[in-house]
Structure 1
Amino acid sequence: MATITVRVSEIEKLFLDKMAKFEGKSLSDLLKTTTLESLEDEYDARVADYAYEEYLERPKSRPLSDVMSEYGLEDNE
């Protein structure tokens, strides 16, 4: 497993320690999960923005029922 070093001030370290305790996680776990979740959210938002811009340039859509059928998710009720 790789190790990454992050330099923070004493006040930031104190805050991070308190947040880790508040979340019931180790400091390493808190930083890893929070950072990865934040980056994943940012990635998802950018991909959505890109897809929306693409849609505005070439508006084309399909009914949700068609897409669900294509992936075998028909509503059988």
Structure 2
Amino acid sequence: MSTVTFRVTDEEKAFIQSMADLNGLSLSELARTKLLEGLEDQIDMALYEKAIKSHELNDESISHQAMLQELGL
């Protein structure tokens, strides 16, 4: 397993430690979990934005009423 080090102020460390304590995690577990969650959220948002742009370029949406007619309802 690798180690990653980053610098924070004393106040930031105290805050991060208190949040780790609140969540019942070690400082390392909290930092790792929140960092990875944040990066995964960033990837999800980028994929969402790409999908929206693709949809806007090739919008094949129809209204609810048109769908009912197409289904013969």
Task: Give the letter for the 1:23 counterpart.
Answer: N
Amino acid at match of 2:49: D
**What is aligned with 1:17?**
17
Identity %: 39
- Aligned match of 2:67: none
Partners of 1:26 and 1:52 in 2: CA distance: 39
Structure of larger gyration radius: 2
Question: 2:40 matched to which residue of 1?
Answer: 40
Aligned residue type for 2:28: S
In the alignment, residue 30 of structure 2 is paired with which amino acid?
L
Q: In the TM superposition, what is the alpha-carbon distance from 1:11 to its structure 2 partner?
A: 0.3
Cα-Cα RMSD = 1.1
Gaps of 5+ in 2: 62-73
- 2:68 equivalent in structure 1: none
Unaligned runs of 5+ in 1: 62-77
Residue of structure 2 equivalent to 1:5: 5
TM-score relative to the length of structure 2: 0.78
Task: Name the residue aligned to 1:30.
Answer: 30
Aligned residue-pair number: 61
Distance 2:17 2:48 in 1: 34
Alpha-carbon shift at residue 56 of structure 1 (Å): 0.4
TM-score norm. by structure 1 comes to 0.74
Which runs of at least 4 in structure 1 moved beyond 2 Å after TM superposition? none
The SS at the match of 2:2 is coil
Displacement of 1:59 in angstroms is: 1.8
- The letter of the residue matching 1:58 is N
